[in-house]
C-alpha cells in the first residue's frame, strides 16, 4: 500500500522515484500511510460517538468510563 501511495505521488508531481518523498507529501498536505490510518480511525470513532456514522458501526462502539478501563 505504501509503495502504491509513493508511485501515485511521483506520478502526480512528475517526480523521480529517487526524489525524497517527505517534501512532496508536505507540498500536497498528504499524510503518510500510518498517519492516514490513525486519522481515518479517529474520524470513524468521532462519527460513531456523535451518531453520524452508519448504525451498524455506531452499535458496535461501546463507551466505558475511565474508572472501568483501569
Query: How many structural domains compose the chain?
Result: 2
Q: Which domain holds residue 66?
A: 32-70
Question: Does residue 63 surpass a pLDDT of 90?
Answer: no
Q: Which three cell numbers stand for residue 6?
A: 509513493
What would the pLDDT profile of 4-47 be if each residue is shown by its tens digit? 767 777 777 777 777 777 777 777 777 778 888 999 999 999 99
CB 64 within 8 A of CB 32: no
Matching residue, cell 517534501: 23
Considering the domain architecture, whether residues 54 and 44 belong to the same structural domain is answered as: yes
For residues 49-58, give the mean pLDDT. 88
Nearest one of 36, 23, 25 to 8, comparing CA atoms: 25
Considering the domain architecture, whether residues 41 and 60 belong to the same structural domain is answered as: yes
**DSSP 8-state assignment for residue 33:** H
Amino acid at each position: 500500500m505504501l509503495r502504491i501511495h509513493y508511485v501515485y505521488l511521483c506520478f502526480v508531481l512528475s517526480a523521480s522515484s529517487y526524489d525524497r518523498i517527505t517534501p512532496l507529501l508536505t507540498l500536497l498536505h498528504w499524510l503518510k500511510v500510518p498517519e492516514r490510518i490513525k486519522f481515518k480511525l479517529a474520524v470513524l470513532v468521532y462519527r460513531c460517538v456523535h451518531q453520524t456514522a452508519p448504525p451498524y458501526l455506531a452499535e458496535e462502539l461501546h463507551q466505558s468510563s475511565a474508572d472501568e478501563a483501569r
